[in-house]
Amino acid sequence: MKSGAQILIEGLKEQGVEVIFGYPGGVVLPIYDELYDSDIRHILVRHEQAAIHAADGYARASGKVGVCLATSGPGACNLVTGLATAYMDSIPVVALTGQVPTMLLGNDAFQESDITGITMPVTKHNYLVQDVRDLKRIIREAFFIAGTGRKGPVLIDIPKDVSTTKIPDEDGPEQQIRLRGYKPTYQGHGKQIQKAIELLISSKRPIIYAGGGVISSNASEELVAFAERMCMPITTTLMGLGCIPADHPLNLGMLGMHGTEYANYAITGSDLLFSIGVRFDDRVTGNLATFAPNAKIIHIDIDPAEIGKNKPVDVPIVGDAKIILADLLKKIPESCPHPEWSAQVQGWKTNHPLRFKEDGALRPQLVLKKLSEILGTRGVIVSEVGQNQMWTAQYFRFSRPRQWISSGGLGTMGYGFPAAMGVQYACPDEPVFVIAGDGSFQMNIQELGTIAQYQIPVKVVILNNQFLGMVRQWQELFYERRYSYTELPEVAFAKIAQAYGIEAETITDAGDVEGALQRALDHKGPYLLDFRVVREENVFPMVPAGAAISEMIVGKHTEHEEE
Ligand SMILES: Cc1ncc(C[n+]2csc(CCOP(=O)(O)OP(=O)(O)O)c2C)c(N)n1
């Protein structure tokens, strides 16, 4: 005989789960009791939101499914932001929640919440298990759904009596995965691929626009090989950073609102946009009508719902980016040089580089530049949300996929620090740095307790401007500097870290940046660096939401033009 809790733990082991991030409570006691003797590691976080962000960070860094566990009611509700974060970025997570016993469902019982109802729009799928005999099958299905096709979070809600009820081992029904209506397409359609090849070969000014889909399908190698063969520059979305090394001559960095000027010029000048695993998100396109106005569009995506959603497409190809790019590489054996276009793109790149004022002041960009120099190709970089995220995206030189972990679609402040804990479990031998704003960091600051308890060697870098910087930047540029509720008081973050037993420093001088980063890197355990940066530094370039990327780059690097 086996209890539901035993079946659950066995099911997780069958899926190769090594670590769960969780927080206990009444209805998950039977599951915690099974975990006590299990060889699956459980990391006790300080807030359920951190549990799901950690599971999400683990998934992004490892490519495997991340797992978290919470109790019913408030515990389950605390997962919602994390589910929405994972859903928006198509990250495979299985969230396990406890539920009140089946006989009390719908009774407003203590700590009951309809979590499958609440999370329906932010999960790829969810289950309320009503019979322990379904549990084994549901666990297998949940991991299958989370980790295949367009990946995403799946929630399994397990009532307490389902965990405690025992059934004979062989009592379960047939355990094969059979999901009606769920058959992701992986191979591209032959005719569409042929049409794409014709466009690719005849184009004079082609560009690749690559996104998170390239990372999740592990297609970077094929992507770079294809770009080299076709002599096509690549610009990536925030989610696609790392799919081509920063120093590769064909790399144009990020496009869109905070993208490089040269990527945006190249998009506007191109005659063929080869879009792979992207969403034509508003932060990328600005005004859709003027985005890539002269280009034909090929769009590869595993989710047919993405194709043509925001912008009409000339050649849609539904399928897996890695498989389709490998197919294209076979079918286009010849190199396709575009010398004039390549020279023009190179000219934009040389004449409009990313730049910041290097005047001896402690500017946030300097911290990222130095960190990138110190780490080289090592390390995984996680960011919070706001200016800190954009400066990291702009100034850290990412050299490989899954080296950059950030909440793109939902833009969740408070994501980065807990996600970094999950990343560290996925990559135990890599240095893991989280780049945070002082606002974002205070959204899940309690996780200092977790990294201290388990000695998770995450290095926290706070770009402390005592502002909700990104919002302040918009107030400066568009609301006449009326800083309405965006100023934060000074906080002695180093003292807080030290109170948890974590080594920490406060850095006020640009000359100390390198040394401090090196000390953090050399330190075996967790470490916190509180950089007191120039408070009113802005992220440039910047195109306001909805504007035409081709026409408006706000700010014009004012400080540099004065020089
Ligand atoms: C949970 C959440 N609330 C609000 C926002 C809106 N928002 C976007 S950036 C930002 C400011 C971030 O400030 P901070 O973390 O200090 O970073 P900085 O921009 O100064 O680098 C805010 C409030 C958000 N993205 N997420």
Nearest CA to ligand 1 atom 18: 469
Q: What is the pLDDT of residue 546?
A: 79
Local structure of residue 458 (DSSP, 8 states): P
Would you say 184 and 152 are in contact if contact means Cβ atoms under 8 Å apart?
no
Q: What is the pLDDT of residue 552?
A: 59
Ligand 1 in reach of 20 Cβ (< 6 A): no
| Rounded-to-integer distance, Cα 487 and Cα 95, Å | 35
Same domain, 375 and 432: yes
DSSP states of 472-483 as a string? HHHHHHHSTT--
Ligand 1 in reach of 437 Cβ (< 6 A): yes
Q: How far is the CA of 209 from the centre of ligand 1 (A)?
A: 27
Q: How confident is the model at residue 547 (pLDDT cuts 50, 70, 90)?
A: confident
Residue 181 lies in a domain: no
Average pLDDT over every residue of 94-119: 98
Answer yes or no: is pLDDT of 560 > 60.
no
Same domain, 322 and 444: no
Ligand 1 in reach of 188 Cβ (< 6 A): no
pTM: 0.97
DSSP states of 428-442 as a string? TTS-EEEEEEHHHHT
Q: How far is the CA of 439 from the centre of ligand 1 (A)?
A: 6
Would you say 456 and 486 are in contact if contact means Cβ atoms under 8 Å apart?
no
CATH of the domain at 396: 3.40.50.970
Q: How far is the CA of 389 from the centre of ligand 1 (A)?
A: 10
Q: What is the pLDDT of residues 349-374, one digit of tens each?
A: 999 999 999 999 999 999 999 999 99
Ligand 1 in reach of 537 Cβ (< 6 A): no
Same domain, 95 and 210: no
- The region, left, alpha or beta by phi > 0 then psi within -120 to 50, assigned to residue 556 is left
Q: What is the pLDDT of residue 171?
A: 53
Answer yes or no: is pLDDT of 126 > 50.
yes
CATH of the domain at 222: 3.40.50.1220
Q: What is the pLDDT of residue 174?
A: 57
Q: How far is the CA of 469 from the centre of ligand 1 (A)?
A: 7
Q: How far is the CA of 347 from the centre of ligand 1 (A)?
A: 35
Q: What is the pLDDT of residue 555?
A: 57
Structure tokens at 139: 């666990």
| Rounded-to-integer distance, Cα 553 and Cα 11, Å | 52
Which atom of ligand 1 approaches the CA of 488 most closely? 16
Q: Is the peptide bond before 184 cis (omega within 30 degrees of 0)?
A: no
Ligand 1 in reach of 387 Cβ (< 6 A): yes
Q: How confident is the model at residue 543 (pLDDT cuts 50, 70, 90)?
A: confident
Nearest CA to ligand 1 atom 23: 468
Residue 180 lies in a domain: no
Which atom of ligand 1 approaches the CA of 443 most closely? 1
Ligand 1 in reach of 388 Cβ (< 6 A): yes
Local structure of residue 136 (DSSP, 8 states): H
Which atom of ligand 1 approaches the CA of 364 most closely? 21
Residue 416 lies in a domain: yes
Q: How far is the CA of 384 from the centre of ligand 1 (A)?
A: 8
Ligand 1 in reach of 384 Cβ (< 6 A): yes
Residue 260 lies in a domain: yes
Ligand 1, residues 387, 444, 464, 470: which to mutate, most atoms within 8 A of Cβ? 470
Would you say 58 and 406 are in contact if contact means Cβ atoms under 8 Å apart?
no
Nearest CA to ligand 1 atom 20: 469
Average pLDDT over every residue of 487-497: 98
3-class DSSP state of 498? helix
Q: What is the pLDDT of residues 312-360, one digit of tens each?
A: 999 999 999 999 999 999 999 899 999 999 999 999 999 999 999 999 9
Ligand 1, residues 80, 257, 440: which to mutate, most atoms within 8 A of Cβ? 440
Q: From 351, 381, 413, give the residue that closes a domain.
A: 351
Residue 177 lies in a domain: no
Ligand 1 in reach of 196 Cβ (< 6 A): no
Same domain, 156 and 21: yes
Same domain, 442 and 509: yes
16 contacts: CB under 8 Å, gap ≥ 6: 64
Which atom of ligand 1 approaches the CA of 81 most closely? 1
Residue 372 lies in a domain: yes
Would you say 286 and 547 are in contact if contact means Cβ atoms under 8 Å apart?
yes
| Rounded-to-integer distance, Cα 68 and Cα 127, Å | 15
Q: Which residue has the tokens 């120039």?
A: 534
DSSP states of 308-360 as a string? TSSS--SEEEES-HHHHHHHHHHH--S----HHHHHHHHHHHHHS------SS
Q: What is the pLDDT of residues 424-483, one digit of tens each?
A: 999 999 999 999 999 999 999 999 999 999 999 999 999 999 999 999 999 999 999 999
* Burial class of 358 by CB neighbour count within 10 A (0 to 12, 13 to 18, 19+): exposed
User: By C-alpha distance, which of 377, 384, 510, 508 is closest to 442?
Assistant: 384
Ligand 1 in reach of 411 Cβ (< 6 A): yes
Same domain, 146 and 200: no
Local structure of residue 238 (DSSP, 8 states): T
Q: How far is the CA of 465 from the centre of ligand 1 (A)?
A: 12
**Total number of domains in the chain:** 3
| Rounded-to-integer distance, Cα 482 and Cα 167, Å | 65
Q: How far is the CA of 388 from the centre of ligand 1 (A)?
A: 9
Q: What is the pLDDT of residue 561?
A: 40
Q: What is the mean pLDDT of the chain?
A: 96
Lowest mean pLDDT segment, chosen from 166-180, 311-325, 516-530: 166-180
Ligand 1 in reach of 531 Cβ (< 6 A): no
| Rounded-to-integer distance, Cα 22 and Cα 5, Å | 15
Ligand 1, residues 257, 413, 444, 485: which to mutate, most atoms within 8 A of Cβ? 413
Same domain, 61 and 203: no
Would you say 459 and 434 are in contact if contact means Cβ atoms under 8 Å apart?
yes
Residue 21 lies in a domain: yes
Please list, residue by residue across 124-154, b when 16 or more beta carbons sit within 10 angstroms of its beta carbon and e when fewer do: bbbbbbeebbbbbbbbbbbbbbbbbbbbbbb
Just list the catalytic residues: 48, 110-111, 160, 470
Cross-strand partners of 3:
166
Angle in degrees, 0-180, between the axes of helices 80-88 and 48-62, rounded to the nearest 10: 20
Ligand 1 in reach of 208 Cβ (< 6 A): no
| Rounded-to-integer distance, Cα 57 and Cα 424, Å | 9
Same domain, 27 and 133: yes
| Rounded-to-integer distance, Cα 462 and Cα 460, Å | 6
Ligand 1 in reach of 412 Cβ (< 6 A): yes
Would you say 92 and 152 are in contact if contact means Cβ atoms under 8 Å apart?
yes
Same domain, 346 and 371: no
Same domain, 130 and 66: yes
Q: How far is the CA of 534 from the centre of ligand 1 (A)?
A: 17
Task: Supply the Cα-derived Rg of the chain in whole angstroms.
Answer: 24
| Rounded-to-integer distance, Cα 543 and Cα 552, Å | 6
Which atom of ligand 1 approaches the CA of 414 most closely? 1
Residue 485 lies in a domain: yes
Q: Supply the range of the domain harboring residue 101.
A: 2-167
| Rounded-to-integer distance, Cα 78 and Cα 403, Å | 27
Structure tokens at 48: 């359920």
Q: What is the pLDDT of residues 272-290, one digit of tens each?
A: 999 999 999 999 999 999 9
Ligand 1 in reach of 386 Cβ (< 6 A): yes
Same domain, 306 and 448: no
User: By C-alpha distance, which of 6, 2, 31 is closest to 159?
Assistant: 31
Residue predicted with more confidence, 245 or 543: 245
487-495 long-range contacts, CB within 8 A, separation 24+:
488/438, 488/439, 488/442, 490/466, 491/438, 491/442, 491/464, 492/530, 493/438, 493/441, 493/462, 493/464, 493/528, 493/530, 494/528, 494/530
Q: What is the pLDDT of residue 169?
A: 85
10 contacts: CB under 8 Å, gap ≥ 6: 2, 136
Q: How confident is the model at residue 87 (pLDDT cuts 50, 70, 90)?
A: very high
User: By C-alpha distance, which of 256, 226, 233, 406 is closest to 321?
Assistant: 226
Q: Which residue has the tokens 């009532």?
A: 159
User: By C-alpha distance, which of 19, 184, 4 is closest to 93?
Assistant: 19
Instruction: Please state the length of the chain.
Output: 563
Same domain, 266 and 397: no
Answer yes or no: is pLDDT of 559 > 80.
no
Ligand 1 in reach of 367 Cβ (< 6 A): no
Q: How far is the CA of 422 from the centre of ligand 1 (A)?
A: 21
